[in-house]
Homo-oligomer: A and B are copies of this chain.
């Protein structure tokens, strides 16, 4: 039994910061709130992170990126029927609809807020976005190789649009606070993807 567990403390701060940022955005996220929800103090936070910006960037790299990795990137990469996997992810997202509709996608929230304001955020967020696009693009290419996707489809362009439209759908559903709107949008996006298939 140890009274000091630095990495656990760091993780607690990261998790609390992620929640606070998810709720209020980065600029409006309050250090005091983050600390209050963890029971820690400023000494602990500023021992592990030099500035609020560094904390935010760590949230992007270590929380947001990892979550998307587990939920999207890895399943897509490991799939042998990538097109079905992609459609399945969009279909099954209704499970998380309430959470997504309430607060939106953490990645998109931060991109909209911070990309024009802070180059460091823009880069880190762009890296995550790139990983996402790439995983979708590779899935499409694989499907194309298997003959499931029309040969004239530009996989990179389609992947960019799928990710963009997906983020847009979550954003609009967030404003409407409507899980139903999200599933309507999701089905339209699935229709777009199916329109790329070989007939």
Contacts and interface: CB of A to CB of B under 8 A. Distances in A.
A169 interface: yes
A112 B115 contact: no
Copies of this chain present in the complex amount to 2
Contacts of A173: 164
B103 A112 contact: no
Nearest to A193: B192
Interface stretch (A8-16, A81-89, A175-183): A175-183
Nearest to A186: B161
Interface of A: 23-25, 27-28, 102-104, 108-109, 111-113, 115-117, 122, 125-126, 129, 157-158, 160-161, 163-169, 171-177, 181, 184-185, 187-189, 191-192, 195
